[in-house]
Amino acid sequence: MDLIETRLADDRELIYFYDKTAPEAGVPADRRVLPEVATATELRYDALRGEWVAIAAHRQGRTHLPSDDQCPLCPSTPQRRTEIPAPAYDVAVFENRFPSLALDVPEPPPGSEHRAGRGRCEVVCFTSDHDSSFGKLTPERARTVVDAWAHRTEALSQLPDVEHVYVFENRGIEIGVTLSHPHGQIYALPFVPPRVRRTLDVVRAHREATGGDLFADRLAAEVLAQVRVVARTRHWTAFVPIAARWPFEIHLYPNRRVADLVGLDDAERDDLARVYLDVLRMLDGVYGVPMPYIAAWHQAPVRGADRELAWLHLELFSSRRAPEKLKYLAGTESGMDVFINDIAPERAAEMLRAAGAGPEGTR
């Protein structure tokens, strides 16, 4: 992988990642004149739940569902300049213009009940093709994205105040996506998010009680049961978890314990690019329509004893429960975090495997 680092007109960082080699001529400069965006995120602590909430009122004015010819993630043209000055690109990563967190947020006055929302938010554009998707990428391009994820995880982990690096993709307007161009995001968080913290608490308790590794135990149990496994390679296993919350939920684990994306070796990254594409194509093949989904990478905290407890994995889930029906969070789920799934995990796995057996899913 080759890359070029540059700056946008308002001094935000932009990095181009290339499948092969970077162009010898370099990349064009950003000639736009951009208005200033004041970032004033606050972090407020919910003492009863033990969780942080970000208040980012400046994001009300962010770009929302622009027409295709006004997409800010497409390459720039002589007629229209975008967030990507180049006329074409492989993968591009840049600082979000309307971030939920920023490094230059001022500290609140002494005695305030909140703290500054320090962190960083980046956008990851998977391709310059506006009408594509991650599942349509070549294995070579998917591998470039994996390398970009790892590069950014390593770099963001070095920033002051950052405790966790969260890599994710939201796809589909049903999920709430405001830009349809194929892209994901990376948040460098100043705290360990609740899902990660709760999981590691359970893993720690299991180790103290049994001496075992709960991640390894669950992975071994799914492989032994086989019924919920949808893909297994030398380096990765994809399965529908036994207690899936969503109609279609797939967890993707490396077969050895790795703390984060940085720790994956070349063979594991190559294999991830292939198996992840297969999983996404299975998902789209279930009903023959593009599935809305969230793909959430669970990485180890940046520092602390919990790093040695963590096991890198992806949790991918879709809210589509039928070709024309979506799952909406009901009162038990939104109000009490008690999920009720309409599709048995075993049935979901069967449907995914069947979708993967067709021409689009065969590799």
256 alpha-carbon distance from chain centroid: 21
Residue 294, Cβ neighbours under 10 Å: how many? 19
Tokens of 76: 């720039």
Q: Which of 304, 38, 45 is nearest to 162 (CA)?
A: 304
- What are the φ/ψ torsions at residue 127 (nearest 5 degrees)? -165, 155
Burial class for 234, CB neighbours closer than 10 Å (0-12, 13-18, 19+): exposed
**Is-catalytic flag, 130?**
no
CA distance 184 to 349: 25
Residue 46, Cβ neighbours under 10 Å: how many? 10
Angle at 223 between CA 222 and CA 226, to 5 degrees: 85
Which conformational region is residue 26 in: left (phi greater than 0), alpha (psi within -120 to 50 degrees), or beta? left
Tokens of 285: 């093949």
Q: Which residues on adjacent β-strands are paired with residue 183?
A: 125
Tokens of 242: 């036994």
CA distance 183 to 92: 9
Q: E strands within 112-247? A: 114-116, 120-125, 164-171, 183-189, 229-232, 236-239
Q: Which of 124, 147, 182 is nearest to 270 (CA)?
A: 147
Active site residue: 164, 181, 183, 298, which one? 183
Residue 252, Cβ neighbours under 10 Å: how many? 21
Catalytic positions are: 183
